[in-house]
Amino acid sequence: MFATKTLIALTALASLAAAGSANAGEFESNGRTAAVRYHDINLSDAAGQKELQRRIRSASNRVCVSADTRTMAACRKLALDHVKAPVASAIARAATGERYADAQTRVGK
């Protein structure tokens, strides 16, 4: 199913420059999102994983737009950190051949 191969939408950090003191544990969305689809790549091999990382970086570039390069870089880093767990989970499922729908069924029981 197409929806099972879409990573949780990448979201950007809300006004980092204005907050000035956001620590690494805080993540606030600025409302911008970008879906990262991976239905067409094989996450069980290094080439597929590299392509997924490229797509995620590209999405972070789209959601972290700022005139200030430091703010933009900080936003990208936090956005990328925010999706590490879902990415690792998707790669692990691919390595075991488990489908997302199967994993969700087990979690829900």
* 3-class state of residue 46 by DSSP: helix
Q: What does the pLDDT average to over 72-99?
A: 87
pLDDT: is 50 or 63 the higher one?
50
CA distance 47 to 94: 13
Residues forming a β-bridge with 34: 10
Please, what is the average pLDDT of the chain? 74
The pLDDT-based confidence of 20 (bands split at 50, 70, 90) is: very low
Note if the pTM is more than 0.75: no
